C-alpha cells in the first residue's frame, strides 16, 4: 500500500521569523489522521529569517535529526555543544546531518546568525527505543557525490557505513536524482518506509512527486526512485 502526502496538505505556521510546514501533527497543527508514521513522529520543513532562531528550550526521550538545505544553523546545548572548548561547534551547513538524543533531558537553542540569508532545514523527530539515557550530540557531513544517483545511509541504529547512530529502530538515507539517475532498494514488507521529497521532482514506485510531497509505503517489497529533476530525497526505514 502506498499513501500519498501532498505538500499542499501539510500544516503550516507563519510566526514571522519562522515559517514551518508540518508533515505530521505538531504544536498548534493537529490532524488525527497524521500523527506520525511508524516511529517517525515529526518532519518540519523550517525557514528561519536572518538574525532569528529558537530560544533555549528543553527536550527529553526523543531522537532529533536536523538536515540543512540552505544557510547555516547554529546549535548550542546544555552538553556544551557550540560553546565548550572541546565540544563540537554545533554549526551545521548543507550536507551536514546532526543527531541529538535528548535522553534524560537536554536544553538547546538553534539560531540563524546570517544578516541576509534564510536558513532552510528539516527537523525530524523519531521515537527512541530506550529512555532515560544520557543526552548525546553527533554531527557528520555527507557530500553531494556520496548521494548522487544513490541512497546514502546517513543514520542507523548501529552507525554502520559511517552513519550517525540513532537510539531508535529506524534508518535514514539521502539521495540526489536527476535525469537517468535511479535507485532501487529491497524493502521488508513487515516494516514501514517513508519517502520525503526535499526538493525537485521525482517518481517513487511510479508515483510522480514534487517538492515537499511524500509517500508512505506499507507491505511493499521494493522501492524504486527515478525520473528525477534536481531531486533530493530522504528515505526512512521504520518500525511498524
Residue with the bigger pLDDT between 108 and 99: it is 99
Give me the pLDDT at residue 86, please. Answer: 64
Per-residue pLDDT tens digits for 34-55: 999 999 999 999 999 999 888 8
Mean pLDDT of all residues in 190-198? 98
Q: In this model, does residue 90 exceed pLDDT 70?
A: yes
Give me the pLDDT at residue 75, please. Answer: 87
Q: For the domain that residue 16 is a member of, what is the CATH number?
A: 2.60.120.10
Helix boundaries (H) for the chain: 144-147
Position 87 confidence tier, pLDDT thresholds 50, 70, 90: low
Q: Which domain holds residue 113?
A: 2-238
The DSSP secondary structure of 45-90, one letter per residue, reads: EEEE-TTEEEEEEEE-S-EEEEEEEES-EEEEETT-TTTSTTS---
Q: How far apart are CA 199 and CA 191, in angstroms?
A: 25
Partners of residue 187 on adjacent β-strands: none
Give me the pLDDT at residue 55, please. Answer: 83
- Total structural domains within the chain: 1
> The whole model's pTM is what?
0.95
Amino acid at each position: 500500500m502506498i499513501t500519498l502526502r501532498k505538500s499542499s496538505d501539510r500544516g503550516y505556521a507563519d510566526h514571522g521569523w519562522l515559517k514551518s510546514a508540518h508533515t505530521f501533527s505538531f504544536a498548534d497543527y493537529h490532524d488525527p489522521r497524521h500523527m506520525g508514521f511508524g516511529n517517525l513522529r515529526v518532519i518540519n520543513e523550517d525557514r528561519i529569517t536572518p538574525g532569528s532562531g529558537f530560544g533555549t528550550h528543553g527536550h527529553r526521550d526523543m531522537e532529533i535529526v536536523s538536515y540543512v538545505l540552505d544557510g547555516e544553523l547554529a546549535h548550542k546545548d546544555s552538553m556544551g555543544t557550540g560553546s565548550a572548548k572541546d565540544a563540537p561547534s554545533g554549526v551545521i551547513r548543507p550536507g551536514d546531518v546532526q543527531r541529538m538524543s535528548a535522553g534524560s533531558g537536554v536544553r538547546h537553542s538553534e539560531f540563524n546568525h546570517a544578516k541576509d540569508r534564510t536558513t532552510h532545514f528539516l527537523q525530524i523527530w523519531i521515537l527512541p527505543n530506550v529512555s532515560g539515557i544520557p543526552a548525546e550530540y553527533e554531527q557528520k557531513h555527507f557530500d553531494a557525490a556520496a548521494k548522487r544517483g544513490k541512497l546514502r545511509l546517513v543514520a542507523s541504529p548501529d552507525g554502520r557505513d559511517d552513519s550517525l547512530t540513532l537510539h531508535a529502530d529506524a534508518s535514514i538515507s539521502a539521495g540526489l536524482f536527476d535525469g537517468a539517475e535511479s535507485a532501487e532498494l529491497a524493502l521488508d514488507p513487515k516494516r514501514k518506509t517513508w519517502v520525503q521529497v526535499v526538493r525537485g521532482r521525482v517518481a517513487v514506485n511510479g508515483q510522480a512527486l514534487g517538492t515537499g510531497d511524500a509517500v508512505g509505503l506499507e507491505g511493499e517489497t521494493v522501492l524504486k526512485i527515478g525520473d528525477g529533476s534536481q531531486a533530493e530525497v530522504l528515505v526512512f526505514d521504520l518500525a511498524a
